Amino acid sequence: MKKKENIIIIVVLVVMILAIIGVSYAAFSYSKTGSKVNSITTGSITMTYTETDNTISLNGALPTTDKTGMVRLNPGEYFDFSVSSEITGDVNINYEISAKKEDGNTIGGRYIKLYLIRLTDDGSEEALMVPETYNEESSANDYTGRPVNEMSLYTSSMNSSESNNYRLRMYVDESYNPQGDGGGLTFSVRINVYGKAGDKYVPLTTQKILEDNELQEETTNMFNYASNGSYIASITEEGPQYGSEPSQVTNGLYSMNDEDGVSYYYRGAVTNNNVQFGEYVSDYYVYENNGLYYQSLESCREANVGYEDGCTQVKLASAGDKMYWKIVRVNGDGSLRLIYNGTSATPDNSDLAHSYSVGNTFYNLEHDNPKYAGYTYDNGTDSFIKREVDTWYKNALGSSIYDSKVSSGRFCSDSSGYREETMMGRSVFASFDRLASVFGKLMGLEMQENVTPTLKCPTTSESYGGSYRLKAGLITADELVLAGESFGGVISNSYLTAGDNEFLWYWSMTPSSEDGGYENMVRVYYENAFLADLGAFNSNLSLRPVINVTTENGFTSGDGTASSPYVIN
């Protein structure tokens, strides 16, 4: 059989308006590469978009995996450009980077993936999206000026003089089969940047949340206490001794900066952060083996080598079942960060189908190296838990109309600060120093005085963990502390508390410590509702996905209570 020709991608880079590059099977040619700097100026605001000389020109490109397509750096495999501003005074630019396909494409956009990153000052790459197939927005963005029928890649704002460097990659998805395509297929896009001066974009959902909740002030050393005021008073031979401080009872909506601006987070015994978003479009099954529930038959068999025959199909949800969530926080970019709460706003946890989780499993199947505490390791190998989360999202939301509302949000598996702690006979990560400092000080360890959670992902030098842009992930231990949890057996009254049986222990994605070759993850243990750590290899906890949802239309109904959840259409 004649060897099939490879697919070629065309990328077009436009400075606000033009520059088209064409590629064919035989070779590639271009009619023009952009070299002009185009500016829009409004009073004391100047915004500039400049493209470099390099272009994407994949000659003989084969379908490829995301893992490969996301890291390509050979000439012709990426395009660099910058967006800059010169701003004086109290003004702001909302801007958006988008893609628009050209006429005459002979391969469908559903087979083409785009991936945009920001180049940081040290030359590293910060993902701004997960690789997504070409899809156009059905509505315009009045805040940025982006018109309808373009694919939104990234939206942000600038209120001071700055320069941001971006890198675009585009490739043929591995799902495409080139057999029988006849050759000569092409796909072209223009990359556009739009910007408008105005107030920073505040989604209607954020406005509603701020209307429904009086913003609270942090109390002094608030995070040394659980949200109900409980704390560790001392540690004796009998173990931790607990006290209660009424002045430290903290419930409501608070604020803290993340990488994208001001984030508003819920804390304590709040009851008005319930959301209904999405539904199961078909019956959803998991696979049970020895009391654990996996997202696929393959993962069940992988985790039960020698006992594969014990994997039995169990229904988690029926077609039409609604998905319910708790709002963890409003992200700095305006999106909502949601944690799964089951197929009911009030799950009774009588069994898996009626619990707040989608399964329960190991964090990883490997051990004897701290890297296995990372959400990924070896610079991109997925942990077992990440594959489970990704499988759930792909099968439950990724194949539905709701996928377009789920943004590629920030997630953090903080593997920074790994060090040996000799007194405890273990090594710890920065998260332990940051979130268990009160417990550690009482144990006689050299640790900081106060608990200091953060919504900014610390930079790590390790080849595991780090900062991600994902469609779905897990909650971080810092977010759990912000929600009202506390380390060391302190019982909380957080809105995340859901009951007292086996389905109430769930994973976060934050490495905690390493002891005897079993990497521990900070997790929530809800028999008594407190933050603790447990072995990533030899423990099985529930899986509670976290997503980030972006909507420009606000909530369609509801007040956030369990009886009337906010609804995102």
Q: What tens digit of pLDDT does each residue of 322-331 get?
A: 999 999 999 9
Would residue 237 count as lying in a domain?
yes
Whether residue 304 sits in one domain with residue 161: no
Whether residue 525 sits in one domain with residue 449: yes
Whether residue 299 sits in one domain with residue 383: yes
pLDDT of residue 393: 97
Would residue 2 count as lying in a domain?
no
Residue where a domain terminates, one of 148, 176, 197: 197
Whether residue 185 sits in one domain with residue 142: yes
Asked whether the beta carbons of 555 and 568 are under 8 A apart, the reply is yes
Q: Strands of 12-13's sheet, edge to edge?
A: 12-13, 189-197, 93-101, 151-158
DSSP code, position 308: G
Nearest to 532 by CA among 481, 498, 463: 481
Dig out the tokens for 548 from the structure.
């980030």
Whether residue 192 sits in one domain with residue 286: no
Would residue 78 count as lying in a domain?
yes
φ, ψ for residue 371, nearest 5 deg: -60, -25
**Cβ neighbours for 422, distance < 8 A, ≥ 6 positions apart:** none
C-alpha 154, offset from chain centre:
15
Residue where a domain terminates, one of 164, 197, 230: 197
Nearest to 229 by CA among 211, 243, 214, 249: 249
**Domain total in the chain:** 2
Higher model confidence: residue 17 or residue 242?
242
Would residue 1 count as lying in a domain?
no
Residue where a domain terminates, one of 197, 224, 245: 197
pTM of the entire predicted model:
0.82
Tell me how far apart the alpha carbons of residues 298 and 302 are, in angstroms, rounded to a whole number.
6
Tell me how far apart the alpha carbons of residues 193 and 21 are, in angstroms, rounded to a whole number.
17
Dig out the tokens for 197 from the structure.
């001066």
Each residue's pLDDT tens digit, 544-557 = 999 999 887 789 99
Each residue's pLDDT tens digit, 467-493 = 999 999 999 999 999 999 988 888 888
Beta-carbon neighbour count of residue 299 at 10 Å?
21
Whether residue 476 sits in one domain with residue 331: yes
Higher model confidence: residue 146 or residue 490?
146
Whether residue 279 sits in one domain with residue 221: yes
Would residue 368 count as lying in a domain?
yes
Whether residue 154 sits in one domain with residue 242: no
pLDDT of residue 198: 83
φ, ψ for residue 392, nearest 5 deg: -60, -50
Would residue 275 count as lying in a domain?
yes
Give the pLDDT band of residue 357 (cuts 50, 70, 90): very high
Nearest to 488 by CA among 244, 224, 266, 251: 224
pLDDT of residue 534: 57
Whether residue 537 sits in one domain with residue 445: yes
Which residue is associated with the tokens 């500016």?
39
Which range scores top for mean pLDDT: 6-20, 292-306, 437-451? 292-306
The average pLDDT across 221-235 equals 94
Q: Residues 66-70: contacts with CB within 8 Å, 24+ apart?
A: 66/113, 66/115, 66/130, 66/131, 66/174, 67/380, 68/171, 69/113, 69/115, 69/131, 69/169, 69/171, 70/115, 70/127, 70/131, 70/169
Give the pLDDT band of residue 536 (cuts 50, 70, 90): low
Give the pLDDT band of residue 5 (cuts 50, 70, 90): very low
Whether residue 177 sits in one domain with residue 77: yes
Taking all residues of the chain, what is their mean pLDDT, rounded to a whole number?
Answer: 84
Would residue 204 count as lying in a domain?
no
pLDDT of residue 148: 94
Whether residue 288 sits in one domain with residue 216: yes
Whether residue 311 sits in one domain with residue 425: yes
Q: Is the pLDDT of residue 1 over 80?
A: no
Residue 288 belongs to domain spanning: 209-567
Q: Using CB atoms within 10 A of its CB, is residue 210 exposed (0-12), middle (13-18) or buried (19+)?
A: middle
Q: Residues 210-214: contacts with CB within 8 Å, 24+ apart?
A: 210/253, 210/264, 212/272, 212/559, 212/560, 213/252, 213/253, 213/272, 214/252, 214/253
Q: Using CB atoms within 10 A of its CB, is residue 319 exposed (0-12), middle (13-18) or buried (19+)?
A: exposed
